């Protein structure tokens, strides 16, 4: 891992970078490969993808090119002469809803391994508590997602996965797992930003040793593009001489969440990376925390509807 990247220890003892590169909606192969290479040069050591993103192959190609590089373009790795090697990069992928179920999960992970061209995936998440094609309130989903988890546990034993976790799980979904999980989820990745400050879920994860991971920290861009800008964030950004995006990312980090900003430019990759070193004063954190009391917006899918 890069010395410049802040780390957090998971409940299984492994450490993961607190800031990663999100890749949702990044389907231009050459653009994405360039962004990944730039990100690694900047210091990113954590890449987040998923089956539904349809970009695992491009990510795998970029990583293999980085690992094979002999020009010294990538440094601060743990290989000879600072070379970046596989162990330096944390890769996360996810099970799409239509692949839920024991056998489907095994097949999906093997497919991701092949596309990523990796011998193991650092972390694999159940992307959604629901099952593709099912009504959100169909009770059979409870057994199906259980079988998905049991399959992931088997893949950990086979060393194809180092860590397993969930995404978009609510407290009820996490408590349900207490009845069957022999491996506790290391992470719960959820939409999290000042207009969706789910403190109860954040606190539950913290109290139960599950690392909270935030996606859509910028509200799918809506918190910085003029559609849903937050006055408190704008004011604090101006005061601290940071961008609103950096404040939003720093806010998530200071709530002990891992953040996964995406970007289509090297300049924003750098700005996002630097947000992990920003410090928002406590009184300003409270101002941002209070925003959701008067306005709540969910920009992505709503897992509260799933039984």
Q: How far apart are alpha carbons 84 and 76 in whole angstroms?
A: 7
Q: How far apart are alpha carbons 126 and 16 in whole angstroms?
A: 18
Query: Degrees (nearest 5) of the Cα angle 188, 194, 199?
Result: 50
Cα–Cα distances in Å, from 106 out to 26, 116, 117, 189, 228?
25, 16, 16, 21, 41
Q: Is 29 helix (H, G, I), strand (E, B) or coil?
A: helix
User: Is residue 123 a contact partner of residue 90, using CB atoms and an 8 Å limit?
Assistant: yes
Whose CA is closest to 18, among 253, 229, 243, 184? 253
Residues 6+ apart with CB under 8 A from 283: none
**Would residue 124 show up in a list of annotated catalytic residues for this protein?**
no
DSSP code, position 169: -
- Active-site choice (44, 53, 74, 124): 53
- Asked whether residue 127 is marked as a ligand-binding residue, the answer is yes
Q: Is 111 helix (H, G, I), strand (E, B) or coil?
A: helix
Catalytic residues, which ones?
53
Annotated binding site for substrate: 127
């Amino acid at each position: 891992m890069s010395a410049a990247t802040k780390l957090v220890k998971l409940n299984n003892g492994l450490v993961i970078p607190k800031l990663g590169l999100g890749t949702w909606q990044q389907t231009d192969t050459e653009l994405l490969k360039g962004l990944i290479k730039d990100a690694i040069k900047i210091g990113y050591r954590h890449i987040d993808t998923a089956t539904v993103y349809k970009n695992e192959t491009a990510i795998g190609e970029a990583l293999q090119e980085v690992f094979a590089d002999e020009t010294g373009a990538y440094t601060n790795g743990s290989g000879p002469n600072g070379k970046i090697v596989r162990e330096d990069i944390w890769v996360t992928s996810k099970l799409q809803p239509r692949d839920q179920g024991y056998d489907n999960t095994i097949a999906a992970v093997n497919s991701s391994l092949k596309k990523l061209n990796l011998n193991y995936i650092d972390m694999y998440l159940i992307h959604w508590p629901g099952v593709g094609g099912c009504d959100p309130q169909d009770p059979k989903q409870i057994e199906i997602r259980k079988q998905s988890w049991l399959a992931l546990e088997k893949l950990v034993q086979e060393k194809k996965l180092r860590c397993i976790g969930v995404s978009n799980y609510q407290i009820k979904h996490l408590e349900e797992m207490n009845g069957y999980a022999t491996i506790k989820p290391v992470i719960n990745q959820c939409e999290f930003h000042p207009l969706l400050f789910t403190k109860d879920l954040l606190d539950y994860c913290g109290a139960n040793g599950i690392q909270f991971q935030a996606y859509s920290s910028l509200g799918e861009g809506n918190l910085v593009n003029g559609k849903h800008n937050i006055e408190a964030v704008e004011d604090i950004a101006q005061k601290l001489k940071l961008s609103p995006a950096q404040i939003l990312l720093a806010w998530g980090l200071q709530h002990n969440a891992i953040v996964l900003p995406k970007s289509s430019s090297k300049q924003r990759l750098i700005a996002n990376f630097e947000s992990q070193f920003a410090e928002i004063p406590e009184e300003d954190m409270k101002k941002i925390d209070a925003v959701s009391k008067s306005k709540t917006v969910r920009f992505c899918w709503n897992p509260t509807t799933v039984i």
